Chains A and B, each alone.
Chain A
Amino acid sequence: MNWEEKISKKVRDTPPSGIRKFFDIVNEMDDAISLGVGEPDFVTPWNIREASIHSIEKGMTYYTSNWGMIELREAISKYLKERFHISYDPKDEILVTVGASEGIDLALRTIIEPGDEVLIPDPSYVSYMPCVKMAGGEAVPVICTAEDEFKLTPEHLKEKITKKTKALILPYPNNPTGGIMDRADLLAIADVIRDTDIIVISDEIYAELTYNGRHTSFASIPDMKERTIVLNGFSKAFAMTGWRLGYAAGNTSFIRAMVKIHQYTMLCAPIMSQVAGLEALRSGFEEDFKTVRDMVKEYNYRRRVILKGFRDMGLECFEPLGAFYVFPSIEKTGMTSDEFCERLLMEEKVAVVPGNAFGESGEGFIRCSYACSIENINRALNRIGNFITKHI
């Protein structure tokens, strides 16, 4: 069978993730240090793991409601209210998803008609663009620059709004840049879209990981809740990536429509993960999220070390205030992002991710994750320092 012809054009036209070659090389190397990991290096706290193990022992191995366990949705509702000052009815305004990733896909598929345009800040997480395209829409990148601290500015946003604009994805705190949007920034965006019908898909998966005050949810901006779908999850806040547990919160008509797709494609999130998520929130309320705060404190130490490291090398690097990435400019080396990353890996055995993997605006930058020990960060910084000295 000629599979090339059998596979749908939409899928054929979707480029594979651009970092496969790096991945294969790093895997073969003995002494490589990776700053390319986009997930916490913390293991899920033991009480959460233990709760899930207990549920399996008790025989909780069945489906849950398509929406997710009501106890979990109630806890999520309380969490969103306490931590981000946004209130959603657990009965019909919150859907538990298989990671925030499923939430992105569901939200886009729920609203996109062929030809609809979806605005995506560039650079951003890699899955938005393919998800928009696979849902039949047009992905429209909106440029974000280092000068603007990789924030989405009202000016750049306005330029890209057309009659076909259906939605805006707002991914802050941002992967790969570590950029955040504070309340004033969000108010300015709200002013731009206030008189439009644009839906905002606010991906707030890194909301707990901010280093200069608490994250502001776009849904908490006056008049914006109605048009906003908030996506979040347990992966980054509670070091629970492998559990694949996320949620979407928004207007009930929107959520009900998402549930339709979810029930036919996913049915429900795994019950053992939902039990774990419930324990994460339950213990979080009990200790005022000390475990989360301790992780943030630790990330913040590393953030300062890695930022200083790059600046001491003479690379320009804006101060990231969210997530666990720094995004230094490598323009001074005269190399492209791809070239830099490949040569750094071959010459100094350090893996970082080329900025252009996250969109054209990421060209000239590299993404370095500090979700690893300070010792490894220092070792990596030494090696990158050698590399820079050789090539500047």
Chain B
Amino acid sequence: MGSRVNEILEILSKNSKLTPAEISTMLNMEVEEVKDIIKELEANNTIVKYNTLINWDKTDKERVTALIEVKVTPQRDQGFDSIAERIYKFPEVKSVYLMSGPYDLCVIVEGKTMKDVASFVAQRLSVLEPVLSTATHFILKPYKIEGVILEDDEKDGRQVITL
């Protein structure tokens, strides 16, 4: 059973548009069983959301992303969780990770312009009391996101028919 669940998750993580009927064929299962498993995974928040991976560089949307290294003072009884929460609740913040190494939180922030991001760091992030320091790195170009190469130039060059 567990391996079935993992297989469904793996399949959906690669292509969330597949229907339960298609998945049931791929895995040789009953459709109803697949539906039940997916429902359960959604209910317990294992499947959090069905997103679309977009290469925004291909659009005319103005957009900058920055990776911010944040050093913080952990809070009594709550460690890093409460400060992380105060940071991730800002809508500008796309991701937050607790890190090992020289800084504590890795915060990914998105804005329209560099000025937007700079003002977020200056006016929202740095001013939080537990934040000791920040270092902001702007992302210049994404090559690979979530295991997917954005500009894959490996074409299918196979002959159309081979025996």
Contacts and interface: CB of A to CB of B under 8 A. Distances in A.
Nearest to B10: A297
A315 interface: no
Given A43-B154, A301-B11, A37 B26 contact: no
A39 B158 contact: yes
Contact of A32 (B28, B158, B160, B162): B160
B160 A305 contact: no
Contacts of A19: 161, 163
Q: Which of under 10, 10 to 19, 20 to 34, or 35 or more describes the interface residues of A?
A: 20 to 34
Residue with the greatest number of chain A CB neighbours at <10 A, chosen from B7, B22, B25, B27: B25
A17 B154 CA distance: 29
Interface string A104-143: 0000000000000000000001100000000000000000
A305 B163 CA distance: 22
A304 B162 contact: no
Contact of A351 (B22, B161, B163): B161
Given A43-B154, A301-B11, A37 B159 contact: yes
Contact of A301 (B27, B158, B161): B27
Interface in B9-47: 11, 18, 22, 25-28
A320 interface: no
B31 to A, nearest CB: 12
Interface string B148-163: 0000001010111111
A34 interface: yes
Interface string A29-48: 00010101111010100000
B26 A305 contact: yes
A233 to B, nearest CB: 15
Provide the main secondary structure of the chain A interface: mixed
Contact of B25 (A23, A34, A125, A308): A308
Given A301-B26, A305-B25, A34 B163 contact: no
Contacts of B25: 304-305, 308
A302 B154 CA distance: 22
B55 to A, nearest CB: 19
Contact of A37 (B18, B22, B162): B162
A227 to B, nearest CB: 28
A60 B82 CA distance: 57
Contacts of B159: 23, 37
Contacts of A36: 160-162
Nearest to B26: A301
A317 interface: no
A297 B26 CA distance: 10
Interface in A1-37: 17, 19, 22-23, 26-27, 32, 34, 36-37
A26 B158 CA distance: 13
Given A301-B27, A304-B28, A357 B160 contact: no
Contacts of B18: 374
Given A43-B154, A301-B27, A305-B26, A38 B163 contact: yes
Nearest to B152: A43
A353 B161 contact: yes
Contacts of A357: 163
A168 B158 CA distance: 32
A23 B161 contact: yes
B160 A41 contact: no
A175 B161 CA distance: 14
B26 A304 contact: yes
Residue with the greatest number of chain A CB neighbours at <10 A, chosen from B11, B26, B27, B160: B160
Contacts of A175: 163
Residue with the greatest number of chain B CB neighbours at <10 A, chosen from A23, A301, A304: A301
A67 B154 CA distance: 33
A22 to B, nearest CB: 6
A125 B154 contact: no
Contacts of A26: 160-161
Contacts of A126: 163
Contact of B160 (A17, A297, A301, A351): A351
Given A22-B161, A26-B160, A297-B7, 13 more contacts: A26-B161, A27-B160, A32-B160, A34-B161, A37-B158, A37-B159, A38-B161, A38-B162, A39-B158, A41-B158, A304-B25, A305-B22, A353-B163
28 contacts: A17-B163, A19-B161, A23-B159, A23-B160, A27-B160, A32-B160, A34-B160, A34-B161, A36-B160, A36-B161, A37-B159, A37-B160, A41-B158, A43-B154, A125-B163, A297-B7, A301-B11, A301-B26, A301-B27, A302-B26, A304-B25, A304-B28, A305-B25, A305-B26, A351-B160, A353-B163, A358-B163, A374-B22
| Interchain residue pairs A-B with the least CB separation, the first 6 | A36-B161, A301-B26, A38-B162, A26-B160, A34-B160, A126-B163
